[in-house]
């Protein structure tokens, strides 16, 4: 009489839950990427009660507390601001610049940038932080 089992035990890796884990990871990263701020330059924006959003392609000009100018996250010299803006707006039908200035900068700094935008006939919109 042969009492031995004919079927041998083989090691298996259960992968049925990997699909669920991958789905939740993908969902997590999609939600985080839409919430994340695209600009990594830290600027304390002025506050306002009403907000307006733009849906077209825009150019971002950021000026931090140390008066460093970033055009689309690229550091530029303030003397070359006008030439850099002209280079960025080439080919855009209705160019718009979103101005992100630190709240501690002076009004004169703002006026200088607005004068450059007026000279180039570019629409400049000031980015602000919503009051909660």
Half-sphere exposure of 129 (CA within 13 A, CB side): 12
In terms of residue numbers, what domain contains 83? 47-130
Does residue 80 fall inside a structural domain? yes
Q: In the structure encoding, which two tokens stand for residue 43, read together?
A: 């600027």
Residue 66: give its domain's CATH number. 3.30.420
Average pLDDT over residues 76-91: 89
pTM: 0.59
**What mean pLDDT is predicted for residues 105-116?**
90
**125, 53 contact by CB (below 8 A):** no
CA 123 → CA 13, 62, 71, 88, 99, distances in Å? 60, 15, 15, 13, 10
Enumerate the H helices of the chain as residue ranges: 18-35, 81-89, 107-120
- pLDDT: which is higher, 55 or 132: 132
| Mean pLDDT of all residues belonging to the chain | 82
Q: Count structural domains, the chain.
A: 1
- Assigned domain for 24 exists: no
Residue 56 lies in a domain: yes
Q: Write down the pLDDT at residue 6.
A: 67
From 9-13, 62-66, 78-82, the region with the lowest mean pLDDT = 9-13
């Amino acid at each position: 009489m042969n009492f031995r089992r004919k079927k041998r035990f083989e090691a298996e890796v259960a992968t049925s839950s990997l699909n669920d884990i991958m789905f939740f990871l993908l969902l997590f990263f999609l939600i985080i990427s839409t919430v994340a701020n695209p600009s990594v330059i830290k600027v304390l924006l002025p506050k306002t009660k009403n907000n307006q959003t733009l849906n077209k392609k825009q150019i971002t000009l950021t000026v931090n507390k140390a008066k460093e100018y970033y055009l689309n996250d690229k550091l530029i010299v303030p003397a070359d601001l006008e030439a850099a803006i002209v280079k960025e707006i080439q080919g855009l039908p209705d160019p718009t610049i979103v101005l992100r200035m630190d709240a501690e900068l002076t009004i004169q700094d703002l006026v200088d940038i607005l004068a450059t935008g007026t000279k180039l006939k570019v629409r400049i919109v000031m980015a602000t932080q919503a009051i909660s």
